[in-house]
Amino acid sequence: MGIDPNYRQNRQVVGEHEGHKIYGPVDEPKVLGIHGTIVGVDFDVCIADGSCITACPVNVFRWFDTPGNPVSEKKADPFNEQACIFCMACVNVCPVAAIDVKPP
């Protein structure tokens, strides 16, 4: 079960982090929602494999600590989603399909 590709329509914006939107629900530390609009990362699916961080040629991602989260205690945060060049490398390498990329 990966990220909902329609989360932008199906979920409410519940906050902002590092300049990107957070789509709920959020109930920290167990439920963290989806971070990002152009590059969305489902923090509830992300297992902190790091392949997206390595694959991204324009440094869209960086680690964000999520202590107490049952899936992983860090996540690949799309803090620089505006730099995305839509190469889809992150989507293609994510082992749990936690990432969705759509142009604005």
Closest CA to 35 of 104, 99, 86, 103: 99
Per residue in 68-99, pLDDT (tens digit) is 999 999 999 999 999 999 999 999 999 999 99
pLDDT at position 5: 97
Query: Does position 1 have pLDDT exceeding 90, yes or no?
Result: no
Q: Is 100 annotated as a binding residue?
A: no
Q: Is 42 annotated as a binding residue?
A: no
State yes or no: cis peptide before 25, omega within 30 of 0.
Answer: yes
The pTM is what?
Answer: 0.97
Q: Is 65 annotated as a binding residue?
A: no
Per residue in 16-27, pLDDT (tens digit) is 999 999 999 999
Q: Is 44 annotated as a binding residue?
A: no
pLDDT at position 51: 98
Q: Is 27 annotated as a binding residue?
A: no
Q: Is 52 annotated as a binding residue?
A: yes
CATH of domain 7-101: 3.30.70.20
